[in-house]
Structure 1
């Protein structure tokens, strides 16, 4: 890399701004930023739990199981943009907060990150089908890979729990790092 190229990369205001933001989110703003991130994730999971309750507890037909948000805004819950936006939000959150996690916390954070990457891929696949109006496998609605075998409601509830578990373990180790003996 030439000196001119290095200088142009270092002086790029957008990349400098992003680096500064990541630094703040992993430094001074880390605790409130992580709290906001987790509140958004908790509300998303709550929506999936409400959908499951509407289906299995109340016996509603699947198309009517739209969660709390869907009761007021049914068109929003049927939008692939909303689901993709949340998947992207989570993926970016994993990437942005990654520098703060070290040791065992990093291992578990990376496991959650990998699972979220696949979850994001599934939502990108659904969004792509909705945009081009061409569904995979001649399905009448957009379909993800996992939906070949499992219904969408159950599949996304499963995905969210599979991502949440390593995320919570990572946050536990982040908050309470294991004691490292000096004699080891």
Structure 2
């Protein structure tokens, strides 16, 4: 059986070196090239047509989701396995919707990574356990039903027209923490601003 050919895409040279070393030392894999951003990834994937592309997501100079979208649009046969440190819905969902075959976190054990690449090369979907369980929860639960108690408190105050500074004072948290809660609320409700969050919360019965 021929070796599985790989393209490694990551903006950190140390990560690329580590992955290259890992796969070069293991039987059954051949690293064809490395790319430091999404645009370079698309160009190399088009020319080399690797079996599997290990794709980071957040990179300057063309991010992973844009690269995945372009690679799929070009009809390339390569399977794309996202390998990232980020597991938020705002990263996971767009990558999978764009056409990624799988999604693993960078702290995955070496053997799990090898198994995932082999599975991806065969066209099988690969998801880290943490990502898989969150996607299942997202599908099963109505959007917004997973808001934490603290997020609901923040949202109730937002609905009253309370500003971030006042919310922070009332809940004894920092303004930065308020902003973090709002980011998570927007993600979970699928909205982009305070007004839309409040409207969505009333619409779904989160705020009565």
TM-score, normalised with respect to structure 1: 0.32
**Which structure has greater strand proportion?**
2
**Which structure has greater helix proportion?**
1
TM-score, normalised with respect to structure 2: 0.29
Report 1 or 2 for greater relative contact order, CA contacts < 8 Å, sequence distance ≥ 6. Answer: 1
